[in-house]
Structure 1
């Protein structure tokens, strides 16, 4: 995939925007930011329960895919923060797409990922990401660690472990990546879609060489995801330094239901009083369950 950044975005480089009180130097981009990704097979039918109408699991063979992506944003218009994405690979349309093909023809099948949870380090990231792009951001206790043995990230809330992910580093990170990735989210009773253009080099491990671990802790936030029958990783990716540019174009559609929801969805009231603070919560400290394969 070699999607180029649109010329309209390049044209306003060096200019500024002020949206909902959040100042941006344009384009809205991040540089010098390492990232990890781990992809796990999950039960496709059970995955449907996490997706709104019109969003369908992207299936490889009989399985859907859980995508865990953590980015250590080091240089952005709103400061440093970690972003921990837990998502299900998906397509968008009236009917489910065929198996496998959406992974090859992503634009045609409107493929991307539906973000189930998206904790971040700073309050300003919540204010901008949720209020402007509709991403389900909230503050969490997060870290991002790189060593010779593993690349890992932990996510805590209320003193409890929500999730922990680790991957084994690849031997080389020389594969070029230049692509557009689509994020689908639910906010304000709307299905929101935003795109990011990535330019980086990465290292990839596939199938048996994809050594990864994803742990859902005892915090109630993600307990329902344990029903997805998460299997062993089929791919891991490490990007030592990404350049990511957010598109200035956001799409949205009404979420529709068989009956009028009894409870109003989270809306702009969750955003308007947030500050522009770049401070982080304390580092995560909940214990991580020991491995069951004997490795340290």
Structure 2
């Protein structure tokens, strides 16, 4: 999680406003490896902004890449999530490293910290056919502190992240997620 200057962020959904603190907004970025225990197995690089619509807090996904066309098409059609295709390289083991095409790379430098169970219920706000659409998001996972070294490709689509200041790095495992209504 990091903070970015407010002018760098423009959520896509009408009426959705970035939450700001001292003129900066919270930005969440993640590399995700969805394995075959879910509906689809694919990789993802996502950047989202913490937002609100009225008094309802949530996230708005500003940039996202996946390596699965079914995931891309479904997310765009059902929820207005602007998924694009990219190639991914993941190296697992004692040190995680992920690269999304020529967009960005993240390398983990593990820390010794306990993995704690966390549950989160929130919303994702996106624009679909010019309307703000709220999609419920429920998660349960084990979360631990870690260190990540991000490298954003200069001149690439995430160059705006070079103005951010990372505040918190988390490793999430055993993720169970329900996106949308049952």
Ranges in structure 1 where 5+ consecutive residues have no aligned partner: 1-38, 94-108, 206-210, 250-296
Ranked by relative contact order (alpha carbons within 8 Å, sequence separation 6 or more), the top structure is: 1
In terms of fraction of residues, the more strand-rich structure is 2
After TM superposition, the score normalised by the length of structure 1 is: 0.55
**Paired residue for 1:222?**
158
Check 1:184–1:143 CA distance in 2 against 1; reply closer, same or farther (3 A cut): farther
**Paired residue for 1:128?**
74
CA contact (8 A) 1:68 1:87 kept: yes
Q: Which of 30, 38, 53 is matched with 1:69 structurally?
A: 30
- The 1-side partners of 2:10 and 2:142 are apart by 35
Q: Which of 199, 208, 213 is matched with 2:149 structurally?
A: 213
CA contact (8 A) 2:79 2:128 kept: no
After TM superposition, the score normalised by the length of structure 2 is: 0.84
Ranges in structure 2 where 5+ consecutive residues have no aligned partner: none
Q: What does the per-residue CA deviation read over 1:116-162, in whole Å, with 9 as the maximum and x for residues that have no partner?
A: 111111111112222122211121112333333x4332111xxxx11
CA shift, 1:204, in A, is: 2.4
**Paired residue for 2:173?**
240
Q: Which of 135, 138, 159 is matched with 1:197 structurally?
A: 138
CA shift, 1:246, in A, is: 2.0
**Paired residue for 1:255?**
none
Aligned residue pairs, count: 181
